[in-house]
Structure 1
Amino acid sequence: MVGFDDSPLVPYLDPPLTTIRQPVREMSLAAVNNLLEEIGGNRVPRTELLYHPELVVRRSTGPLRQPI
């Protein structure tokens, strides 16, 4: 079983839940900065922002397999 967003409580479940962790702080900062620019009257270019999630393996899944 795999969760998403890595809630602070997830490591304390039984078994601890494997999850996908997103860079929420970086995503939030980008959104707030763009919003503040718009509020300030500046035109913010519409671009796609890509973030790299992290797989956090815990005991709700087996170990990672090595490539053959």
Structure 2
Amino acid sequence: MARVTAGRPDAIYDLLALGVLQALNMNGDVQIPGVIALIGYDDIAFASAAVVPFSSIRQPSELIGHTAVDLLLREAANGAEGEHEQIVFQPELIVRASTGG
């Protein structure tokens, strides 16, 4: 158990979280979320369908894509005179069983 928790990361993306979940589940004596709380980033479809559905951070991917295209088109139309923008998107925490939710 010490090897599992030593030097643990603060965050992992969902595919890696799924692999960690499977490895811990195969170990058998590690309870999720009892011993380890697990959270990923991206909120892939498998996050909710895993043996222990795991919490994840969902980013507004579609909105990010639409906004990026809009910014690129505006910049292409305005050339060098266009103003650069910085846009911040708020992610959403999706709480599931892996964190006790």
**Which of 50, 57, 64 is matched with 2:88 structurally?**
50
Under a length normalisation based on structure 2, what TM-score does the superposition of the two structures give?
Answer: 0.55
Runs of 4 or more, structure 1, over 3 Å off, are none
d(CA) in 1 for partners of 2:83, 2:75? 10
Deviation at 1:52, TM superposition (A): 1.1
Give the alignment's Cα RMSD to 1 decimal.
1.4
* Gapped regions of structure 2 (runs ≥ 5): 1-37
Give how far 1:18 is off.
0.2
Match of 1:23 in 2: 60
> Which of the pair is proportionally richer in strand?
1
SS in 1 for 2:78: coil
Tell me the percent identity. Answer: 35
Equivalenced residue count is 62
Show structure 1 runs of 5+ residues with no match: 64-68
In our comparison, the structure showing a higher alpha carbon Rg is: 2
User: Could you state the TM-score of these two structures normalised by the residue count of structure 1?
Assistant: 0.78
